[in-house]
Amino acid sequence: MILYLASGSPRRVELLRQIAVPFSMLSAPDIDETPLPQEPPLEYVCRMAREKALAGAAGAGDLPDGAVLGADTAVVLGDEILGKPADEQQALAMLKALNGAEHQVMSALALLHRDHMAVRYSITRVQFRQLSEAQLQAYVATGEGADKAGGYGIQGLGAALVASLTGSYSGVVGLPLEQVVALLDQVGIRYWQPN
């Protein structure tokens, strides 16, 4: 059976390669990622993962004996979802809000196999260091967080923003591998495969 990844994220590609699971890329799904009114953050990321898997499968047409993986990740402060910043000013505002505080990173996965959809998620608590405004501005100036939820990337330069985390590091990057392998085991897709 073939795994299809419905995502354009290079970070998700790297994480799947890390566990040596053969997969094929589908075009990144073009869906509306606006949260619904009063939608709790966990429900939002789970819905997004399902919609991405469905859109990926629909866009690919006939996928014989394959499973489509959709994923979504949100940085959540209180009940507020911090998406990708629109510009440097918004990125700095997000980092100021996260500065010295604990937030959650919610990552959801949806695996569509035939007519069955399985959904899993992880919630990781991330504690930011207390940094000066000059330090936050210096990070924003690197441009690393421009395309990332919450305006930072823990797998890169943004690692220096973080004091600690409790939960899934790979979930913060964008694909909780402990949940991925559980889904792959359910449908018989093997990982740790030689190239």
CA dist., res. 147 & res. 151, Å (int) = 7
Residue pair 33/51 in contact (Cβ under 8 Å)? The answer is no
CB-neighbour burial class of residue 169 (10 A; exposed 0-12, middle 13-18, buried 19+): middle
Residue 87 designated active-site: no
Across 56-70, b (16+ Cβ under 10 Å) vs e yields: bbeeeeebeebbbbb
Q: Of residues 62, 72, 147, 185, which has the active-site annotation?
A: 72
Residue pair 2/65 in contact (Cβ under 8 Å)? The answer is yes
Pairing assessment for the beta strands 80-82 and 2-5 based on DSSP bridges: unpaired
CA dist., res. 100 & res. 117, Å (int) = 38
CB within 8 Å of 61: residues ≥ 6 apart: none
Cα dist from 51 to 34, 59, 71, 161, whole Å = 12, 12, 9, 32
Q: Residues with catalytic annotation?
A: 72
